[in-house]
Structure 1
Amino acid sequence: MNEMTRLYVDFHVIQTVPPSCINRDDTGSPKTALYGGVRRARVSSQSWKRAMRKMFNEDFQQANFGIRTKRISSLLVTEIRALQPTMDEEEALSLVEGFMKLCGISTKKKNDVEKTNVLFFISKTQIHNLAEYILAHKNAKDKNIKKEVKKLLSQNHSIDIALFGRMIVVSDKLNFNTDASAQVAHSISTHRVDNEYDYFTAIDDLAPEDNAGADMIGVVEFNSSTMYRYATMSVHTLVKELNGEKELAAAAVKEFAKAFIQSMPTGKQNTFANRTLPDAVLVTVRRDQPVNFVGAFESPVRTTDGGYAERSIQKLAEYANKIYTNYVDAPEHSWSIGMGDEQNNVNLKELLQSVHDALLEDLTNMVSSGQE
């Protein structure tokens, strides 16, 4: 791919997280990672992506979302009958069952509902196209059917499939996987972290007054930290997955940015109420490659005045300039919140709109100059 056809957006966030346990391991302890020789607080990419997807889905146009289901047979039957109203449900179901068998997709009926063995993530347009294909190939026994179906499911993606990807493995030889246009890194603290314990008790409201014992005893492990968070978006890939709809792609990146900046995983939310917003945000648009700045914190931040956020922001800015000097060019566009850069410093509303407008202009210029 020509370098001029590439377009990446990088998102960097410094965020202080108060005492909490927003992402736990199998023992209930806050997740951690060893980096730079010391133990760091960690929030997995899966955890934060779930929070992002929830916010993204609440704020974006619902018509552009896919469906997660094992009941794909029911969806196909409904769509087939919508395309051909004279066909009864039994005939439509028979067609779908034959289609599934030819594709090697296993199904089983439970409580009169036909379910696939794997969970499908599929767009409404893909359901429509599959239904049309089934009707056009009622008597198909073609060996190429798997190849043709895979082609149908590799285009017309919903926005969430294009952004976050899809993994559907039917067998060793058949999958309908889709690579994500967005990547989210595991968030780690910029400094060393030691976990602490919250010991709590509960008392029976109806217990006698002379009963001094607790009726329930528990311990919650937690930590607090200033975290570095990073995500990147391959905008040219997103546009391709969305069939060249550059306006939709630019709007999706804007909402992705908002979700990445404002979302918070909900683990132990009722216990800790840890709803914080970032201390600083840096968003850049590049054409060469994405660049993660986690190396700024390989040497853990140490503090003399009791806080980590200010020094973490300084180290992020210093490391970015070092990378721009030694390895890559400065970004084509850059916006920041709380970074102390007066030239590019904006508020969140301005940042989101600026990202949207700059990408839409870049994508339009790429199309007009034939660089798609």
Structure 2
Amino acid sequence: MTNLYVDLSVLQTVPSSNINRDDTGAPKTALYGGVTRARVSSQSWKKAVRDVFKQDHVSAGKRTKQAANLLATELKNLDATLDDETVQAKVAEVFKLAGIKVDKKKDNETGALLLVSRGQIAKLAQYAIDNEELDKKEIKKVLKGDQSLDLALFGRMVADNPELNVDASAQVAHAISTHEVVPEYDYFTALDDEQPEDNAGAAMLGTIDFNSATLYRYANVNLNELAHNLNVTDAIKGTADFIKDFLLSMPTGKQNTFANKTLPSYVMVTIRQDTPVNLVSAFENPVVSHSGYVAPSVTRLEGEYQRTQAYVDEPVANFVLGKADSQIGTTVAKLSDLLDQVTAKLSEVMQDEDTND
């Protein structure tokens, strides 16, 4: 089967904010091109995407140490006559055969976070009720099937039993600013509403670190791997769901303090058959501007796309949202148009693959 990748390049400007903090409470940064850049970790943005999946009723699993207790709850929901001792015995046997250790001293917690879909928990419970003797291979089959979209996209690593690992079909880069940033901080005070009039002092004071930036965000999806984890139809729909929620999500660090929820200024979606391409090299030489960073960043990004064409095959399709006069690919006016056209093109390519097979 021919490779099929979807590249997603996004420019998004964020005002004063601290959406992803380091261990000191300051916004994360990276040194790139010899200067300090604002940075938002891939893990942080993937968590934001998973949260929006849940809001949009997209299939999303649970990443938790409480998987054994989720199974216990599901067993009781399926058969209310089961007593606690029987439930705990079945749960213990399922996880033992799955090769996942649980700590009875810590309320049956797993040693590490485990991403499981609701369908997997439901099928495990049904299997445990329907069968007196449980089979290791069947349990593994359940835990590898019925994957939620976030599990199929971002994968799963199970240190206790690598056989349950799921290869990720999506890669998400750390977002970095297209330009140098200078860290800033806000000195704040708070007054006690009930303090005496002759007391002019603050009841609380402190500082909050922040920066503002135009971010370059990048992600890609391997359609064949996603189809392997799900199926072709769900992979195509899941890719559209991921694009939408990747664009509309934002990590919530200090959101109430800065109200920094913005939307992308520019989006490029490229469908390729040879290799994914991160266009961050467009900004290795930091953008310098005194009249905003978005416009020169768009010019740099499109220029880098043109430069990389000397190294890669002609893409299957390229769609641009946010620049009506773009000379690369097909321009679209709305996000809904972008999603429709990407879905149509992916369906066409995947159908051609089936026909050729």
Deviation at 1:17, TM superposition (A): 1.0
What does residue 263 of structure 1 align with? 249
Q: How far did 1:167 drift? A: 2.3
Name the CA distance, whole Å, in 1 between partners of 2:129 and 2:193: 66
**Do the aligned residues in 1 keep the contact of 2:169 with 2:221 (CA within 8 Å)?**
yes
The AA in structure 2 aligned to 1:357 is A
Aligned position for 1:241: 229
Measured in 1, the distance between the counterparts of 2:168 and 2:46 equals 12
What residue number does 2:120 align with?
Answer: 126
Q: Show the counterpart of 1:279.
A: 265
| RMSD across aligned positions (CA) | 2.7
Question: Are 2:339 and 1:355 equivalent residues in the alignment?
Answer: no
Cα drift, residue 215 of structure 1: 2.0
Distance 1:158 1:33 in 2: 32
Partner of 1:327: 311
In the alignment, structure 2 segments of 5+ residues that lack a partner are: none
Tell me if structure 1 keeps the 8 A contact 2:171–2:219.
yes
Counterparts of 2:271 and 2:259, CA distance in 1: 34
Aligned counterpart, 2:177: 189
1:117-156 superposed matches below 5 A: 117-131=111-125, 134=128, 138-139=132-133, 145=136, 149-156=139-146
Aligned mates of 1:293, 1:300 — CA distance in 2: 14
Aligned to 1:54: 51
**Displacement, 1:164?**
1.7
CA separation in 2, counterparts of 1:235 and 1:174?
Answer: 23
Determine the C-alpha separation between the residues in 2 that align with 1:73 and 1:344. 49
CA deviation profile, 1:96-117 (whole Å, cap 9, x unmatched): 4334345543334469x64444
Cα distance, 1:132 vs structure 2: 6.1
What is the TM-score with the length of structure 1 in the denominator? 0.85
Shift of 1:331: 1.6
Deviates more, 1:209-218 or 1:226-235: 209-218
Equivalent in the alignment of 1:98:
93
How far apart are the structure 2 equivalents of 1:344 and 1:200?
Answer: 48
Distance 1:165 1:174 in 2: 12
Give the counterpart of 2:149 among 146, 159, 166.
Answer: 159
1:4-19 alignment, distance < 5 Å: 4=2, 6-19=3-16
Map of 2:158 onto structure 1: 168
Structure 1 residue 286: Cα displacement: 0.5
Tell me the CA shift for residue 206 of structure 1: 2.2
Q: Is the 8 A contact 1:31 1:42 kept in 2?
A: yes
Equivalent residue number for residue 338 of structure 1? 322
Give the SS at the match of 1:153. helix
Shift of residue 162, structure 1, vs aligned partner: 0.2
Q: Closer, same or farther in 2 for the Cα pair 1:302/1:366, shift >3 Å?
A: same
Tell me the distance in 2 between the aligned counterparts of 1:18 and 1:136: 56
Aligned partner of 2:30: which letter?
A
Q: Which runs of 5+ in 1 are unaligned?
A: none
Q: How far did residue 228 of structure 1 move? A: 0.7
Cα pair distance change 1:264/1:208, threshold 3 Å: same
Query: Counterpart in 1 of 2:283?
Result: 297
Describe the superposition over 1:210-257 as per-residue Cα deviations: whole angstroms up to 9, x where unpaired: 333222111111111111110101111111100x2x222222111111
2: distance between equivalents of 1:26 and 1:332? 43
Contact 2:154–2:168 (8 Å) recurs in 1? yes
SS in 2 for 1:169: coil
Q: State the identity %.
A: 49
Amino acid at match of 1:307: G
The corresponding residue for 1:314 is 299
Residue number in structure 1 paired with 2:239: 253
| C-alpha spacing 1:248/1:100, structure 2 compared with 1 (3 Å) | closer
Give the TM-score normalised by structure 2: 0.88
Partner deviation per Cα, 1:177-204 (whole Å, 9 max, x = no partner)? 2121111100111111111111111122
Q: Which amino acid aligns with 1:121?
A: L
- DSSP 3-state at the match of 1:345: strand
